[in-house]
Amino acid sequence: FFSCFFHPAARMARCLCARRQTQLQASNLRSVEIHLSELLGASNLEPDADLGNLDDDLQGTITSLVNDENKTVELFKKVASGVVYVTTTQSGPQMQAGSEDQPGGPASQQKATGSGFVWDDNGHIVTNAHVVHGADKVMVSTGDQQQYAAKLVATDPDTDIAVLRVEDPAAIAKCHPCAMGSSSNLQVGQTVLAIGNPFGLDHTLTTGVLSGTERTIQGSSGKPISGVIQTDAAINPGNSGGPLLNSSGEVIGINSQIMSSSRSSAGIGFAVPINTVKVIVDELIAHGKITRAALGVTLGSKETLELVAQDSGIPGALILSVTGPAKAAGMKATERMEDGNLSLGDVVQEIDGTAVNESQDLFKLMAKLKPGQQVRVKVLHLSDRKTETFNVRLAKVDSNQEEKALEEEERQQQ
């Protein structure tokens, strides 16, 4: 095969093919010229001049394509040094041979990977909360494959945002902060780019368009994140925490989730908008937590409400447990008794006159309220189908408490 490729006869054949192809192209162009002349009625059309113009147009198209490619190449070079590869390890119980889910023996090391991007000149790195959740050790890798230890500053499970910090001067010197854009006035169809580490392939660039805005996804805590960006730029496991960029190389979101039945890209990815990220990250760096108002309830899904109430027409958020303000006010949870029967509780249907049709509505309303604020909560008692309104003063909860609650819930499920 190789000797044939370099054989003189083969070279001659390739030259002849090239000459023949050039003749065919010239013939085709001449045909185009004749047809154009007939269509335009230009009997005095000068063939050489028109072919030259056609060549100029073709050359302009090629130049434009090359310029677009060069722009993408330069953008990647500029931004890549601000993107890192995040690796976490978490200690877990070693499973005994031949047993089913029975912990025992020395702790095993479970690894997870993700992406992140440099926030400032102080070594702060932003990633997803789910990337570092439960991690005992976090390492970040820069573009030159060097690894550095990172400290977890704080997380906010509600928005799936975490802040890390590298303190090694060598790492800080290599990590250049990404330029922050705005997620206001984004347009469907505009070009977007994602840089991350899908399947461990560090500093991978993918491109696409902004497919939608104002989507809603669930954060690590199960609460909704609104205003989310949808894109068809390929996002896969390992991209989480990496930046979504506009065509100027500015960060407009954090790549967080995909919608897929195979855990790989199906052209539907989601990024938390950068305007939300800015508020959360600044607060996490300054105070190490996000403080929010709390009613003191955990909620069930709409499907659970329909099952419990045996009625698909009841609007509201089913209360599964009460604590703090809700418990003090006298609200009741739906729970299973020792005899196996259900004790029917309450369904939140309004907050200060604003309707709550499902649990997501209550989460969104609570995000706008402040700790210490007094609100009127209208509930439906499932036991007798009567409504009652409670005056409740909202409590304060911070993101660190929510992270600990998630970890405790996971321990109980193991």
Q: Which segments of 135-189 are extended strands (E)?
A: 137-141, 147-156, 161-165
Q: What pLDDT sits at residue 402?
A: 67
C-alpha to C-alpha distances, 197 to 83, 170, 273, 340, 398, nearest whole angstrom = 9, 22, 20, 48, 31
Judge contact between 359 and 302, C-beta under 8 A: yes
Overall residue count recorded for the chain in this entry: 414
Q: Give the model's confidence band at 111: pLDDT under 50 very low, under 70 low, under 90 confident, else very high.
A: confident
Distance CA 245, CA 15 (A): 46
Q: What pLDDT sits at residue 84?
A: 96
CATH fold of the domain at 296-393: Pdz3 Domain (2.30.42)
**Is residue 42 over pLDDT 50?**
no
Pick from 81-85, 101-105, 141-145, 196-200: least confident: 101-105
Best mean pLDDT range from 83-92, 103-112, 279-288: 279-288
CA atoms within 13 Å, Cβ hemisphere of 33: 19
| Sequence letter at residue 187 | Q
Pick from 4-13, 262-271, 375-384: least confident: 4-13
Which residue has better confidence, 45 or 135?
135
Q: What pLDDT sits at residue 33?
A: 46
Q: Return the number of other C-beta atoms located less than 10 Å from residue 318's C-beta.
A: 29
Judge contact between 326 and 295, C-beta under 8 A: yes
- Helical pair 8-40 and 47-80, crossing angle rounded to 10 deg: 110
Q: Which residues are catalytic?
A: 130, 160, 240
Q: What pLDDT sits at residue 23?
A: 47
Q: What pLDDT sits at residue 64?
A: 64
Q: Per-residue pLDDT tens for 173-197?
A: 888 999 999 999 999 999 999 999 9
**Is residue 1 over pLDDT 50?**
no
Best mean pLDDT range from 51-55, 62-66, 191-195, 201-205: 191-195
C-alpha to C-alpha distances, 16 to 5, 7, 23, 29, 160, nearest whole angstrom = 15, 14, 10, 20, 62
Q: What pLDDT sits at residue 139?
A: 95
- Give ranges for CATH 2.40.10.10 in the chain: 83-174, 191-289
Torsion sign, CA atoms 114, 119, 124, 128: negative
Distance CA 401, CA 382 (A): 31
On whether the 83-174 domain is CATH 1.20.210.10, my answer is no
On whether the 191-289 domain is CATH 2.40.50.100, my answer is no
Q: What pLDDT sits at residue 403?
A: 64
Beta-carbon contacts of 159 under 8 Å, excluding residues fewer than 6 positions away, are 129, 219, 225, 272, 276, 277, 280, 290
Q: What pLDDT sits at residue 145?
A: 86
- Give ranges for CATH 2.30.42.10 in the chain: 296-393
Q: Give the model's confidence band at 35: pLDDT under 50 very low, under 70 low, under 90 confident, else very high.
A: very low
Question: Could you identify the residue written with the tokens 């099952």?
Answer: 307
Mean pLDDT value of segment 375-399:
94
Which residue has better confidence, 146 or 98?
146
Average pLDDT, the chain: 82
Predicted TM-score (pTM) of this structure: 0.72
Judge contact between 272 and 160, C-beta under 8 A: yes
First to last CA, the chain: 60
Q: Per-residue pLDDT tens for 312-343?
A: 889 999 999 999 999 999 999 998 888 888 88
- In 193-338, where does DSSP find H-type helix? 274-287, 302-309, 324-329
Distance CA 163, CA 313 (A): 43
**269, burial (CB in 10 Å: exposed 0-12, middle 13-18, buried 19+):** buried
Which residue has better confidence, 413 or 205?
205
